[in-house]
Structures are given as structure tokens and as C-alpha cells.
Structure 1
Amino acid sequence: MPVTVVRFNLVDPDAAPASLSARYKAAVEMAAYADDRGITTVQTEEHHGVANNWLPSPFAFAGAVFGATRHIAVTVSAIIGPLHDPLRLAEDIAVLDLLSGGRLVTVAGIGYRPEEYALFDVDWKRRGALQDELLETVLKAWTGEEFAYRGRTVRVTPRPFSDPHPLLLVGGSSKAAARRAARLGLPFFPSAHLPELEAYYKERLIEYGTEGWTMMPAAETPLLHIAEDPDRAWAEYGGHFLHEARTYASWQSGDIRSAVKSAATTVDELRAEGVYRILTPDACVEQGLDNFVLHPLSGGMPIDEGWRSLHLFCENVLPRLKDL
């Protein structure tokens, strides 16, 4: 059966606090509904200081999802590693791992927006060294043993539920990220379909004498919305997809490679491009994808429309995927 994902970044342009609160609560309720229907994963991410309220605190959101669900995994893809205190991050992930019984997946990248580093007064030029320190520290912290950290001896408790430690992947689209993952014996999560980078990672595993594996996006990883009448849905809601696409594109320089990258400037261009797809249930099944990523609240999508999409997917698509 293909992997099924419900993605949430809680974008809501110019939302009043009450509206944003309703969106957060709806996302948790949607996660519980998805869990009951057998969807594989909730995926979320981290960005800071964005005018459209992009989710800045994915672990807090993950905790709410775990409290409302029993089986579904939460993948945080990705955190901006150098913006986190290593010891506190080790604690937070350990607690979530215990609460969820091992359902948390964390992808650690270094980000690509200098303004996020500036917000937290973190040196952009030191991001590689800070990422190395972060990953090395959390791996030591999760042993529950004492270790040397910044010139002193520390011990982090509690130990996580997962053995030997919670699932932690190194994300990125650079050779430096692949080397970092291989050196530490951690799985690698390329930010796009990059077979040549996967091959480089495997070569470095041999060089370092470590073991690891790759979780790489497929060549096609569209963001999906399900509707009985796609023409009507594009006309009424296409602006929400375009808002998110344009926001994301504005952050990406030419050397950034991403599984979700749009050059569209109009709704018609976005529809033709295929990065975002509004499909009928039948058309969705016919996509034949390895990963079905539903994005029910994209770009401030009205909550009722998000529920319609999720219901159509769970009731009219998901049962048919189980036979594939």
C-alpha cells in the first residue's frame, strides 16, 4: 500500500488569533480522524517570523497530535537544527518519543533563510558547525549517560522510548549534508529526488565505515486536494495554493533543491504545473503514486473545505489504495 500523508503547516494569512486557534484545533481533529482511518503519517515543519503565520513550533503541535491519536506517525520535516539548543532538543524529542511510543520522526536540516537565524541571533556563517554539534550532542544525550558538553559534564534524562534512539534523519540537498549523515551513521533525507546525492551518501558510508539508509522523495511528490468538481475548486480556492507556493518560492535561491518547488505566478500556471493538484477521488487513485500527500489546509484554506477534501480522500480514495 502507498504511504499516505496529511501535511499541516497552519498557514493563515492575516488571521486573527481566534481564527488561527480554530485552525490549530481543526488540524488536531483532522489528525485524529486520519489516524482512525489508517493514514500513515502527519507531516509538519518549522519556519519562523513569517507574515502568514507559518507554524514555528512543530514539536508542540506534534505533542497535541500524539495526545489525540493512537497509531499515526508525526514527521517533522524539517527542523532548523542550529536554531535549537542541543540539550533542550534532546529532552523535547525524548519526551515526545515516550508520549507517543516511538511515533516521532525528526528530520534535521540547517535551513535556507538567513532572516530566521537573525531572529534568534544565531550566526548564519556557523550553521554547519552548529549542526554538527547539535547532532552529536543529541545522540550522546539519548544514551542517558554522562558526557562532555561545552567544557562541562552533563547528563540528560529521561531516556527515550525508542532503542537505540528516536528516529533522526539528516536533511538537505548538499554533499555536506550527505557527509554529515554518513559520518554519524544517520539516515539521509534529501530534500528532493536526487539519486546522485544518494549515491554520494552511500559512498561516504563506506568511507566512514558506518551504516545508514536514504528516505528520498519520489520524482513526483505533488500536494493533493480532493474535490468532486476540480474546476470549481480551482476557481474558488486556487488562490490559497498560489499564496503558499509563492511564499515558499520567495525563500528559495537558485541552488536550493526541493521536492515542492513552484515557478507559477498565477493560478492557471500553478494548475498547469502540477506541483499542487486538485483531483476527483477517481483521478487521485489513478495517479499511481508511491506517496499520497494530502494538504487539506493549504495556504489558509477554509476549514470546511479542508474537511471536505479529507473526508473524500479517506472515504473514496484510501480504501482503494489498500488494494494496490
Structure 2
Amino acid sequence: MPAAQPIGPPTAPTTAVRFNLVDPTATPESLSRRYRAAIDMAAFADDRGMGTIQTEEHHGAVNGWLPSPLTFAGTVFGATRQISVTVAALLAPLYDPLRLAEDIAVLDLLSGGRLITVAGLGSRRVEYAAHGKDWRWRGKLQDEALETLLAAWTGEPFGYRGRTVRVTPRPYTQPHPPLYVGGSSRLAARRAARLGLPLFLNAHLPDLAAYYQARCAEYSTMGRCVMPAPRTPLLHLSEDPDRTWATYGQHLLHEARVHASWQAPGARSGARSTADDVDALRREGVYRVVTPHECVELAGHLGEGGRLILHPLCGGIPVEEGWSSLHLFASAVLPKIDAAPAL
């Protein structure tokens, strides 16, 4: 799911660094190095005032797509002081709701409120089956998870599956840690409005944003919708984009094709590619390799409220190349843009 921007007063472009730790040729040793590099990159981004580290959750992927975003987030928080971590999305129906409430509360305390959780349903039946969850009941599982989180974070006893329970400690953030409902359907929008939670759309869907606001009025809840711009590309920086596409284009294509294969027909996602080869992927623009100058120009074209999303380790790109991209952004782009705070 792509990073997104708030609907509301315009702001300067925000910055995000995305990590999903994909590597189709990884060994345990090389993947360990990649994980440690991602933490070092997060600390680098934090030192330079970037907005958020974005991560996500998938299970059983042969390319190692990150299955444990909360563990990753906790490690980022241990290495940083200011930057937030946006988990977009956390597959809430796959978790034990009480344990999830505890884990997020601890991370909220540890980070001083820097964890942003987007609760999504996911799109892969195999992930539900692997975790012993019934895909047909995913909506009810999502409702139970969200309702349990909100009740648990009060620190007071509440009814749960026929018994009274209490979850401690209370989170740092009050009334509760940042929690969004993710999705691109009316069911997700209505769920968010009913629970009084903000909605995080995974595509540019102004009609759905309007539907959400109408449901908020219906339920007398406060509504905030976060929606990506019509075009929010995933970026890699290079002084020579032609060379980078020729050398690393297959990495970008691998990730694009795997992600596309997981999407249901007609699914809407700002990061969905339909490309079948590297040339088509480059023309499409979902993944872009840009020079620093082009990135500064892109920031201007995005306008206030846009977002620059760096994806330095996309598809298993070598760690050294990822560092090159990140250093270029920090030295040649950041000084020329007025980045806004994170989501």
C-alpha cells in the first residue's frame, strides 16, 4: 500500500523511506545483512529529518517479503529518536487481538508515540489459511480486532469473548495510539466511520473519501481521510537512470509483478503495476529512477501535500546501491525541498 497524504490544509511535500526487505535470491546471511542495513538506513533518515519509515506485512512469500512489521518497527525505534514508522498495512485479522493491543501499546511507549498502524484485511487467502483464520470471516475478525484495541487501550476492564479482561500498560498516546482503517472499499470506509477512526485509502479515490465523510456525519464521528495523490511513484535515485534501469530493472520488475499477482481482479491500489517487462515498467511510472534534479522537480510538481517515497532496497537491489540512492537524496534533494512532518 503506498504512502499517502492527508485531505485537508495543504502542506509541503513529505518524505518516506519504504522497506519490505524483499530479496528473491537471499540466503540467511545476506538477508541478515539486508535487515541490518535497513535499520542503519532508518537511523540515517532520522538524522536528516525525514518523515517516516514505511513498512508492510505479507506471509509465506518466497522472496522473503517482511512478515513481522511490528518487530521491525521496534528495532527502528531503538535506533532512532524522531522518525515515525508507518505500518501500511498490518493484517489485523491474523493476530490475537489482546496480544496485538499489548504489542502496540509497548511500541507506543517505547517510541513516544511514533508508531502509526494502518489495519488492513489483506488480499491473500493463503495467508489466512496459514494462520488458521477463515477468509470468509475476515470482516468480522477485523471488527473484533479494532474494537478490542480501542477497548484495551483504555486500561480499564472490558468484556471480551464472554469474559472480563484488562490490558496493561496503557499506551503513551491518548486516547490511543495512531490507528487507521486501511482499504479501498465502502465496507472499510463505513467501518472506519462507525468506529470513529481515520481512513487510509490505498489509491486515489475521492468518491470513496466523500462516502467516508458522509458516513462520519451519519455516525456523528470525527472523520479524517488519508489518500495518495493520483500519481505517487516509488523512487530510486541515480546520477545515471539508464544505467540503473539496465542493471537493476529486473529487481524493480520482480517486486512489481509479485505485488500485482496478489491483487484481486479490479482491486485498486496506487502501487499496482501492469507491466510485463522492464521497458514497460519504466514507461508506466509506478516505479521511477530519477536524478536528484528530476526528484526536486517532481517534488515541485507534486505540490503541497505530496509525498516522495524512496524505495532504496526494492526487489532485492544490492545494499550498496540502496545506500547510493539514499545518500543522493539526502545530499542533493533534501536541502532543496521544504519537507513537512510525517503523517
Residue 319 (1) aligns with residue 319 (2): no
What are the residue-to-residue correspondences of 1:282-301 with 2, within 5 Å?
A: 282-287=293-298, 288=300, 289=302, 290-301=306-317
Question: Which residue of 220, 228, 231 corresponds with 1:220?
Answer: 231
- What are the superposed Cα offsets for residues 162-206 of structure 1, whole Å, 9 maximum, x if unpaired? 011000000001100000000000000011000000000001001
CA deviation after TM superposition for structure 1 residue 14, in Å: 2.9
The code of the aligned residue for 1:322 comes to D
Q: For the residues of structure 2 that align with 1:79 and 1:259, how far apart are their CA atoms?
A: 17
Give the 3-state SS of the residue equivalent to 2:116 in structure 1.
strand
Q: Which has the higher contact order (CA 8 A, sep 6+)?
A: 2
Residue 150 (1) aligns with residue 161 (2): yes
Where has structure 1 moved over 4 Å in runs of 4 or more?
Answer: none
Residue 310 (1) aligns with residue 292 (2): no
The code of the aligned residue for 1:171 comes to G
Q: For the residues of structure 1 that align with 2:266 and 2:190, how far apart are their CA atoms?
A: 18
What are the residue-to-residue correspondences of 1:14-29 with 2, within 5 Å?
A: 14-29=25-40
Q: 1:323 to 1:184 in 2, by over 3 A?
A: closer
Question: Which residue of 4, 10, 19 corresponds with 2:21?
Answer: 10
CA deviation after TM superposition for structure 1 residue 99, in Å: 0.4
Residue 78 (1) aligns with residue 94 (2): no
RMSD (Å), alpha carbons: 0.9
CA deviation after TM superposition for structure 1 residue 253, in Å: 1.8
> 8 Å contact 1:14–1:51 — kept in the other structure?
no
The code of the aligned residue for 1:308 comes to S
CA deviation after TM superposition for structure 1 residue 254, in Å: 1.8
Tell me which residue corresponds to 1:208. Answer: 219
Count of aligned positions: 324
Q: For the residues of structure 2 that align with 1:160 and 1:93, how far apart are their CA atoms?
A: 8
The code of the aligned residue for 2:290 comes to L
CA deviation after TM superposition for structure 1 residue 323, in Å: 7.9
Tell me which residue corresponds to 1:277. Answer: 288
The code of the aligned residue for 1:296 comes to P
The code of the aligned residue for 1:248 comes to H
What are the residue-to-residue correspondences of 1:107-118 with 2, within 5 Å?
A: 107-118=118-129
TM-score by length of 1: 0.99
CA deviation after TM superposition for structure 1 residue 256, in Å: 1.2
Residue 180 (1) aligns with residue 191 (2): yes
Mind listing any 5+ residue stretches in structure 1 that lack a counterpart?
none
Give the 3-state SS of the residue equivalent to 1:144 in structure 2.
coil
Q: For the residues of structure 1 that align with 2:141 and 2:229, how far apart are their CA atoms?
A: 30
Give the 3-state SS of the residue equivalent to 1:215 in structure 2.
strand
Tell me which residue corresponds to 1:250. Answer: 261
What are the residue-to-residue correspondences of 1:71-150 with 2, within 5 Å?
A: 71-150=82-161
Residue 66 (1) aligns with residue 77 (2): yes
Q: For the residues of structure 2 that align with 1:121 and 1:88, how far apart are their CA atoms?
A: 16
